[in-house]
Structure 1
């Protein structure tokens, strides 16, 4: 692919926009960020907080441990830590550098502050409104569609900032519609790695560190270490275990950052850690590892674009197929191997639902990575799923479109029922 081409520049921009650091599960962190912005707009420490959130936000915050909160879970903890210790300029790292003296205030603040949480009927699956008050003063901040996409800030009814809510929240957003598996493969094979080296090396560094933490210490259900203990040291087990271990740590309060993909730390780890582990196994050099990561990251972003950031469809499925694509290429596969791996993997795990961020995400990640690996092993053993097999259609893009339709449209009612069950309706 020509470096001067529009598609080349779009792909670099997409990777730079998406592969960014976040400390803590991105939904509670989005609430913390919104609350920190509300405190800043108010200009003083609020003694009353009102949080209105869409069902998918409530679903993804309910059961996950918020970092720097001494093991607390839920929306109240996320908003409160954003208020007392958040850096409103730091986006998804809003509480990453919280000072010890500020974190120590959290318990008293939660005990003395009136915090209410309501579910908002919104047309947007990602919608957060935080209203912070002190005496007669009130500030309100709203985030829509993406985790840091602030659409309005007001103080005492005066609009301080406002922009139109649109499906594409940024006027200068890269062209995600330009993503195709064929062009992604071409870009991964030919791009100047210096254009993306820094973000990929950061992904390797950050995600490997949290996975090591998850394997070493006690987090959640310890899926990563359980896989190793139960099934041994085969590369197929190690690839699943290392991704699961990163999720073990992240879903259960580890204070290390990760590099996300499609707005999700779990997806960022799923798409990268198995590929890194396979690169070690096959003795791949740095260049080959980086190209495999370009491939796995962009494949996942392409799959997820049609589904959306949040849905009833487990994001690990897309990331597992993306990891499978990277693994297939590392193991000597060509373009044909990559596309068959993607289709096979999506056919295997397309029924996994998202019931929020929590410890069991690690087990779903292990299953999704297993599907990615099996998808490739099927291909190199002369096996595949064919068009007409369930949701599989002839052509990788057609299959991806079917999966996108399932996640975005077909599972809307499923999503509502999952949320109702989780909040006890």
Structure 2
């Protein structure tokens, strides 16, 4: 199997709810499944990025936000085999059980002193028993599992932080040139599965447009009234459809989303503009699948450099740039024009920070979608910034690599500052302690 096809199959997967709190629920469930009897306490040690992205987001099927309800539900449902869909189909009884655990103050959350951006350590206690599960580097990458001091995983007994297979393949994800060649030549049947994401992400977009989720960014942009200055043009419709999906997801809709590189919002940002444009242009399923393969792979390529979790907004920067590439491909653009589009989009969005997962993600995705279409329009007219312009270099791969420098060299304290600002407001843990 071609490495890029393998990556698509591993990195484009369904999830229900924001992936950071869902990953916490998954870790707690892994530990709780090892125990017998009633759970007496849950201790979490989490990296700052996990806390930042889990504090203000709605948890599907609960009407609640934050880490506490996600973590305690992991102990209640005990179905780690569902991974990122672990909280699907919750019953009210399960939600009530989880809230009882919160009310009885069985949950303790602490910030882990670690350089690892994605780190979740869950230690769960019952009477006379203790189990620990550790995830690192990616949302479902189990690196350690133990019960009563006996290591269950890995079998050699040593906890480690080896990346899972998708992370190990980072160096093989190729350049923009290689991605473009792949999406043009891969047999359609091999990438037809991407159309499952079309149905899934379109459904939650429609839900967001019809309902009253979050800030209602997409819904209000789509409505024609005297207070909507966006009009009823193609661009406004695409922005509204994309933002609406994030509105619904961030406000706790129980509908699944097809994720990209560990994030549902990235999946929304890089696919829905392409899906909406393809429908308006009457493009067939094969062209749409190839455009989606391009948008997803470009998103992953950029994420390789800015990080799985980052002080930069992955949905805006990586997802928006991926969408831009898919849009240009649908418009019949060349490889050079796709590169122009990447340069244009990064020039526009490179400073967008991530201040956690919450309702305003829909605003950032709307901004990124607008930037992607603006950048595509310039690219189709062969317009692109040059090395005279900010962080842009003449070669597109050098520009993408600059995103890594921006994160590592320029934004070392940004995550900590954002988290401190968020925590200073109080009550952000949704009832838990930090």
Work out whether the TM-score is over 0.5. yes
Deviation at 1:424, TM superposition (A): 2.1
Q: Equivalent residue for 1:285?
A: 284
1:363 Cα offset (Å)? 0.5
Partners of 2:162 and 2:418 in 1: how far apart?
24
2:182 to 169, 179, 187: 187
1:43 and 1:271 map into 2 onto residues whose CA distance is 43
Counterparts of 2:409 and 2:255 in 1: how far apart (Å)?
A: 35
Distance in 2 (CA, whole Å) between partners of 1:164 and 1:139 is: 14
Q: Find out whether 1:66 has 2:66 as its counterpart.
A: no
Q: Is the 8 A contact 1:85 1:103 kept in 2?
A: no
Aligned pairs for 1:16-415 within 5 A:
16-69=9-62, 71-162=63-154, 164-166=159-161, 168-170=163-165, 173-198=168-193, 200-229=194-223, 230=228, 231-316=230-315, 317-415=317-415
TM-superposed CA distance for 1:99, in Å, is 3.7
Q: How many residues align?
A: 416
How far apart in 2 are the matches of 1:98 and 1:45? Answer: 20
Deviation at 1:86?
4.2
CA shift for structure 1 position 177? 3.2
Distance in 1 between residues matched to 2:95 and 2:109, nearest whole Å: 22
Is the contact made by 2:291 and 2:329 (CA closer than 8 Å) also made in structure 1?
yes
Cα distance, 1:170 vs structure 2:
3.4
Q: Answer yes or no: is the 8 Å Cα contact 2:208–2:247 preserved in 1.
A: yes
Bigger drift between 283-292 and 106-115 goes to: 106-115
Counterpart CA distance in 2 for 1:236 and 1:171 is 34
Query: How far apart are the structure 2 equivalents of 1:403 and 1:219?
Result: 32
Q: Provide the C-alpha distance between the structure 1 equivalents of 2:166 and 2:195, rounded to a whole number of angstroms.
A: 29
Q: Deviations over 1:343-395 (max 9, x none)?
A: 10010011110000000000000111111111111123343211120000001
Q: Which moved more, 1:36-45 or 1:282-291?
A: 36-45
Report the alpha carbon displacement of residue 164 of structure 1 after superposing the two structures with TM.
4.8
Distance 1:302 1:404 in 2: 11
Between 168-177 and 186-195, the greater mean CA deviation after superposition: 168-177
Rounded Cα–Cα distance in structure 1 between residues aligned with 2:308 and 2:95: 30
C-alpha deviation, 1:49, in angstroms: 0.9
- Aligned mates of 2:170, 2:378 — CA distance in 1: 33
Cα distance in 2 for residues equivalent to 1:301 and 1:178: 8
Q: Is contact 1:308-1:408 (8 Å) kept? A: no
Q: Which moved more, 1:145-154 or 1:21-30?
A: 145-154
Unmatched runs of 5 consecutive residues or more in structure 2? 426-434
How much has 1:83 moved relative to structure 2? 1.2
Instruction: Quote the offset at 1:283 in angstroms.
Output: 1.3
Per-residue displacement from partner, 1:296-340 (whole Å, max 9, x unpaired)? 111111111111110100012111011011101111211111110
**More displaced stretch, 225-234 vs 144-153:** 225-234
397-406 vs 353-362, which moves further: 397-406
Preserved contact between residue 41 and residue 153 of structure 1 (Cα < 8 Å): no
Q: Is the 8 A contact 1:85 1:99 kept in 2?
A: no
Quote the Cα distance in structure 2 between the aligned partners of 1:31 and 1:38.
11
Unaligned runs of 5+ in 1: 1-7
Q: Which of 329-338 and 25-34 deviates more?
A: 329-338
* CA spacing shift, 1:413–1:254, aligned 2, 3 Å: same
Q: CA deviation at 1:68?
A: 2.2
RMSD of aligned C-alpha atoms? 1.7
Shift of 1:235: 1.5
Distance across 2 between alignment mates of 1:171 and 1:228: 37
CA drift of 1:159 comes to: 1.1
In 2, are the aligned partners of 1:86 and 1:98 still within 8 Å (CA)?
no
Do 1:47 and 1:112's aligned partners in 2 also have CA atoms closer than 8 Å? Answer: no
Query: Matched residues in 2 for 1:348 and 1:67: separation?
Result: 33
CA–CA distance in 2 between the matches of 1:263 and 1:38?
Answer: 22
Instruction: Name which structure has the greater RCO, CA cutoff 8 Å, separation 6+.
Output: 2
Q: Determine if the alignment matches structure 1 residue 10 to structure 2 residue 3.
A: yes
Q: Is the 8 A contact 1:47 1:113 kept in 2?
A: no
